[in-house]
Amino acid sequence: MTAYLVIREGTKWTDVFRLVEGESVTIGRAPTNTVIVKDERCSRNHAEVFVSQGKWVLRDLDSRNGTMIDDNRVASDYALQPGDVVRIGDSHLAFVHDLSQAFPDPGTVLRSARAVDEDSSSNLVIDAFDDESVLDASESATITHRRGQSRLLEPPDEQEGELMLPNVGRAAANLCRLAFELAKSTDVVSLANTALNGLFEAAHVDAGGVLLRTRGAEGKRTGEKLELVASRTDSAHRYHRVSNFLSGTVMREEQAVLARNILDDSQLGGRDSKDEILATSVICAPIRQDGTVIGVIHLYSTDSARTTDPDELEFTLAVGDTVAVALENLNRQQELAENLNQIRDENVQLREQLGEQSEIVGNSEVMDRVAQEIARAAPSRATVLIRGESGVGKELVARAVHFSSPRCKGPFVCLNCAALSETLLESELFGHEKGAFTGATDRKIGKFEASDKGTLMLDEIGEMSPTIQAKFLRVLEGHPFERVGGSEAIKADVRVIAATNRDLEKEIVEGRFRRDLYFRLHVLEIVVPSLRKRPEDIPVLAEHFLDRFVEETGRKIRGFAPRAMEELLRYRWPGNVREMKNVIERAVVLARGEYIDHEDLVLSTITTAGDTETGISAKPTGEFQPASLAEIERIHILATLRSTDWNKSKAASILGIERSTLDRKIRRHELASERNSDL
């Protein structure tokens, strides 16, 4: 069942993908697909190829522009035949069983005018080797050829004409195929074995090995000794390591050599006669990296009918240089992986520090997204708008942004705009001079001046009066300001973080908030979810507050009773984290045993901001009325739509679903007629 997809984008073949039985291959524009097609007319998830009843089958995944086979659109599962060309936009994927079919010769079955590089499908063979065996060179050994640079890696010379190597086409194809396989290696051993397998296919040898210098103190391969990384033998004898004479010659002169009539050292008395081996020919090529030989490729033949020639010397030298590049890329990948792991560790440490400084507690998915938004917003100087219900911890998020930013050593000043009158708010923001108004007995520095080189958080920004909004907008745009009752122009380098639990868009429509100020504040936005939208954080927060108040009060409370934790998880928390903090503090003070029980929890019956009159209250009251889930959903969605005057975007936000999902539910429950009756 071995098959291949030969991929062409535009006018060039770009890749070869091997199909493996038992694995479904998805094709599309999204990066999550197995085969990624960069074509505008390709859908994110366009098609898939899989095995069914012993055949490879193509299925279109309801793509927008369709999948074509020979100008025919695939409407149902299509059994692929060798030579079929799958067309997706301007991209083509040729299906073949044998890559030789992909070459443009007269016998090709591929219905295309262009060819691709063949992909090696040979299996890797990793044989055992003996580091102690040594192949030595006697005085009768003859080096018949040397090469310093392979012509396979040089640009073609038009003047050579017929003098070009007779097998250059085959050798170049083998080299391209081998380079493709080497690029996929994930470690040095697999890379060396891949190189040997490719060499055994192209050269008349039956034994060989790849040897690399030992690593020095700095981790580079600069040692004097050679270590055997991989070996292979197809003869009855085990692999015999290259002699010091031959490897030293290659490493000293940085040239590949072809030698004949090599005897092993058993003829010199070093081994038993049964181990006597006559190597009819030997190739030894350097592995060169940045002008330094870091290893050698050693190949030899013990069969007199299989002898190596200068063409194979050329090929081995080219493979040696290709292996050097692959090793360099592998080292860089390992360095990048190590750096990535280090960065991840530092990221974890920074997030832990961020949690310590900002006191943000929670490990749910939504809080992870908030932490990511904080990390992205912190390095910038842009204004941040933090939105969320009362008590969700907007100030903690603002602190996290400040302490993660370059301004972390500067001041962090917080001001609640809803706690002061218009006059006092202006004085708090910009300061005042002595005698500016009744009670102004001294000069006072405003929050803007106090936040110079730091961060100013304005909580409940929606409570600002229109007059203060106009002056505040001017300061945000970089203009100097004056203290109340003063004439001196003052400038301050301040990053502003605004927070609100109001619907500012609605405030703008009703004329209570300036449109230009909204756009100036709404540069970066962080939405803090309510506690009921992240119930997995409730136990974590409960334990956090319990530990804090047990330490403060000195009470010997060991934890929560199971029923108490059930109550905490069932409760809707209209006051969010602030309410939980107060509930746990009260329970720690009033608890009568070693564990907080459900009777120690004082929970309110106030509905949450997202609940309506017909919705689910914090605690169920009254007699139970049986109803299906669909009916309860219909009633709740209708009540929410009516409470928002059929504003679907706002209703979807309250319900915690997408706008498109709300539209589907409206159609399912036939709520459009209810809207007509309401109007």
| C-alpha–C-alpha distance, residues 250 and 227, integer Å | 16
Q: How confident is the model at residue 19 (pLDDT cuts 50, 70, 90)?
A: confident
Q: Residues 6 or more apart from 536 whose CB is under 8 A from it?
A: 363, 364
- Phi, psi values for residue 357, rounded to 5°: -75, -35
CA distance 298 to 255: 13
pLDDT digits (tens, 9 = 90+) for 637-653: 998 888 888 888 888 88
Q: What is the pLDDT of residue 269?
A: 33
What is the structure's pLDDT at 31? Answer: 85
Assign 178 to helix, strand or coil: helix
403 residue type, one letter? F
Please tell me the distance from the alpha carbon of residue 99 to that of residue 19, in angstroms, as a whole number.
12
Mean pLDDT calculated for residue range 536-544: 92
Distance separating alpha carbons of residues 290 and 286, to the nearest angstrom: 12
Segment 71-88 mean pLDDT: 90
Give me the pLDDT at residue 454, please. 92
Q: Residues 582-590: what's their mean pLDDT?
A: 92
pLDDT grade for 225, boundaries at 50, 70 and 90: confident
- Tell me: pLDDT of 297 over 90: yes
Each residue's pLDDT tens digit, 177-207: 888 888 888 888 999 999 999 999 888 888 9
The mean pLDDT value for 429-433 works out to 86
Distance between CA atoms of 265 and 279, rounded to whole angstroms? Answer: 12
Confidence of residue 289 (pLDDT cuts 50, 70, 90): confident
Most confident range (mean pLDDT) of 2-6, 345-349, 463-467, 574-578 is 574-578
The answer, yes or no, to whether residue 678 has pLDDT greater than 80, is no
C-alpha to C-alpha distance for 320 and 301, rounded to whole angstroms = 18
Q: Quick check: 161 pLDDT over 50?
A: no
Confidence band, pLDDT 50/70/90 cuts, at residue 56: very high
Residue 325 has pLDDT above 60, yes or no: yes
**pLDDT confidence of residue 10:** 53
Please report which helix (H) or strand (E) contains residue 467, including its range. Answer: helix 466-476
More confident residue, 132 or 44: 44
Tens digit of each residue's pLDDT (9 = 90 or more) over 357-406: 556 788 888 888 998 999 999 998 899 999 999 899 899 999 999 988 99
Going by pLDDT thresholds of 50, 70 and 90, the confidence category of residue 524 is very high
- CA nearest to 499, candidates 403, 416, 406: 416
- The Cα 445–Cα 432 span in angstroms is 7
Residue 401 sits at φ, ψ, to 5 deg, of -60, -45
- pLDDT (0 to 100) of residue 80: 92
Q: Please name every residue paired with 9 in a beta bridge, in sequence order, or none if there are none.
A: 12, 91
Amino acid symbol at 361? V
- The sign one gets for the Cα dihedral 256, 262, 268, 269 is positive
What does the pLDDT read at residue 144? 58
| Residue 107: predicted pLDDT | 42
The predicted pLDDT at position 142 comes to 57
Q: Residue 32 class from Cβ within 10 Å (0-12 exposed, 13-18 middle, 19+ buried)? A: exposed
SS3 for 668?
helix
Tokens 């900002």, residue located? 358
Please give the share of the chain, as a percent, with pLDDT higher than 70. Answer: 80
pLDDT band of residue 159 (cuts 50, 70, 90) is very low
Query: Where is average pLDDT lowest: 157-166, 186-195, 436-445?
Result: 157-166
Predicted TM-score (pTM) of the model is 0.42
Measured in degrees and rounded to the nearest 5, phi and psi for residue 306 equal: -125, 95
Mean per-residue pLDDT, 554-572:
91
Q: Is 486 exposed, middle or buried (0-12, 13-18, 19+ CB in 10 A)?
A: middle
Q: What is the pLDDT of residue 536?
A: 92
User: Which residues are CB-contacts of 54 (< 8 A; sequence separation ≥ 6)?
Assistant: 1
Q: Is 45 exposed, middle or buried (0-12, 13-18, 19+ CB in 10 A)?
A: middle
Residue pointed to by tokens 């059994």: 79
* pLDDT at residue 612 greater than cutoff 50: no
pLDDT value of position 117: 37
- SS3 category, 209: strand
| pLDDT grade for 86, boundaries at 50, 70 and 90 | very high
| Whether the Cβ atoms of residue 82 and residue 112 lie closer than 8 Å to each other | no
Least confident of 30-34, 93-97, 148-152, 431-435: 148-152
CA angle 54-56-57, nearest 5°? 115
Average pLDDT, the chain: 80
Q: Which residues pair with 211 in a beta bridge?
A: 228, 296
What is the predicted pLDDT for the residue at 83?
A: 86
Q: What is the pLDDT of residues 98-123, one digit of tens each?
A: 766 654 443 444 444 333 333 333 22
Most confident listed range (429-433, 526-530, 674-678): 526-530
Give the largest Cα separation in the chain, rounded: 116
C-alpha–C-alpha distance, residues 388 and 517, integer Å:
19
Amino acid at 152: L
**What average pLDDT does range 593-605 have in this prediction?**
87
- Determine the Cα–Cα distance for residues 361 and 537; give it in Å rounded to an integer: 8
Choice among 48-52, 114-118, 457-461 with the minimum mean pLDDT: 114-118
Which one-letter amino acid corresponds to residue 85? V
CA 223 to chain centre: 38
Q: How many Cβ atoms are within 10 Å of 539's Cβ, its own excluded?
A: 13
Q: Which of 142-146, 268-272, 630-634 has the highest mean pLDDT?
A: 630-634
State residue 608's pLDDT score: 64
Q: With pLDDT > 90 as the criterion, what percentage of the chain qualifies?
A: 23
* Contact (Cβ atoms closer than 8 angstroms) between residue 39 and residue 90: yes
